[in-house]
């Protein structure tokens, strides 16, 4: 059974009617494929933080997260966003189960620094407990995963959802990792590049073609391909056929990253 890891971003989750279409697209996948969904929730987190008048800073696309903020991020992602996705899948007849990296010790994290800077309770993934995923795969239940994780001492960390999806896809040796984004693909000079080889990525970042949140996304993609994931896709959402279309190079509208 081929594993397809699908990461959906926060702005995508918010789009009108998208979660219903996501449920339909999961249902349309071939019976021999096993989807694993990882989600972010950036827009929902930003809304909640602004209601609480919390200042937000980003360093290289990573949200600086203090001890109060990590509780808010956990509440929004593992509570609200996760359950909205699960509810939408169940409504379309897809058997789904939602949880976070904390549950079953799925994602074990440690503190991340960016260029030597302390960015608070933000984590790197050190270990993935794939037996949790195997359990759902055996039962043909789609896991819906919030990237909030814990370390060996029980501290809770906010983990970038792109990073979590990358690590998870490597651990389970996914055939495909699909990043559904709020852009149609990787834009170079205003146009979607249909293919990018992993040895081009750092150069594209250094000359400023790739900026902001696309930096961690492409770095995660490169590492995933280096470590055994066949292909990584970055695409926008184009209706219920999106996932099926992106998995076929003839019908893909996004960017495919490969060796």
Report the C-alpha gap between 31 and 162 in whole angstroms: 26
CA angle, corner 76, sides to 181 and 91, nearest 5? 70
Q: Where are the domains of the chain?
A: 2-258
Average predicted confidence (pLDDT) for the chain: 92
* pLDDT-wise least confident of 23-27, 147-151, 184-188: 184-188
Strands, E assignment, the chain = 2-8, 33-39, 58-59, 62-63, 96-100, 107-114, 117-128, 142-146, 149-150, 156-157, 176-180, 187-188, 191-192, 195-197, 231-235, 255-258
Nearest to 254 by CA among 151, 144, 180, 165: 180
User: Rg of the chain over CA atoms, in angstroms?
Assistant: 17
Cβ atoms of 163 and 60 within 8 Å: the answer is no
Mean pLDDT of the region 71-91:
95
Question: How many percent of the chain have pLDDT more than 70?
Answer: 100
> Would you say residue 194 has pLDDT above 70?
yes
The per-residue DSSP string of 139-190 comes to HT-EEEEE--EE-TT--EEB--HHHHHHHHHHHTT-SEEEEE-SSSS-EETT
Q: What is the CATH number of domain 2-258?
A: 3.40.1160.10
Place of tokens 């903020």: 69
Residue 1's pLDDT band, with cuts at 50, 70 and 90, is low
Tens digit of each residue's pLDDT (9 = 90 or more) over 97-147: 999 999 999 999 999 988 888 899 999 999 999 999 999 999 999 999 999
Residues 29-61 have pLDDT tens digits of: 999 999 999 999 988 888 998 898 888 888 877
| Residue 189: pLDDT over 80 | yes
User: pLDDT value at position 216?
Assistant: 80
Answer whether 85's CB lies under 8 Å from 97's CB. Answer: no
Q: What are phi and psi of 252, to 5 degrees?
A: -70, 135
Q: What is the pTM of this model?
A: 0.92
């Amino acid at each position: 059974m081929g594993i397809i890891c699908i990461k959906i971003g926060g702005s995508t989750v918010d789009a009108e009617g998208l979660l219903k279409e996501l449920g339909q697209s999961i249902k349309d996948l071939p019976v021999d494929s096993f989807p694993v969904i990882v989600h972010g929730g950036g827009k929902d987190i930003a809304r909640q933080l602004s209601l609480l008048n919390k200042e937000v800073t980003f360093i290289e696309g990573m949200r600086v997260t203090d001890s109060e903020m990590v509780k808010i991020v956990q509440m929004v992602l593992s509570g609200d966003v996760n359950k909205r996705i699960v509810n939408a899948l169940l409504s379309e007849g897809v058997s789904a189960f939602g949880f976070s990296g904390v549950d079953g010790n799925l994602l074990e994290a440690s503190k991340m620094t960016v260029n030597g800077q302390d960015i608070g309770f933000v984590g790197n993934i050190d270990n993935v407990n794939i037996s949790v995923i195997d359990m759902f795969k055996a039962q043909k239940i789609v896991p819906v995963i919030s990237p909030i994780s814990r370390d060996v001492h029980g501290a809770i960390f906010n983990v970038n959802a792109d990073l979590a999806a990358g690590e998870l896809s490597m651990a389970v040796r996914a055939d495909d990792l699909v990043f559904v984004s709020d852009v149609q693909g990787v834009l170079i000079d205003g146009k979607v590049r249909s293919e990018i080889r992993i040895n081009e990525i750092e150069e594209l970042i250094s000359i400023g073609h790739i900026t902001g949140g696309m930096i961690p996304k492409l770095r995660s993609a490169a590492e995933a391909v280096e470590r055994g994931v066949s292909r990584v896709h970055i695409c926008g959402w184009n209706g219920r056929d999106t996932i099926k279309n992106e998995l076929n190079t003839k019908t893909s509208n996004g960017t495919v990253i490969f060796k």
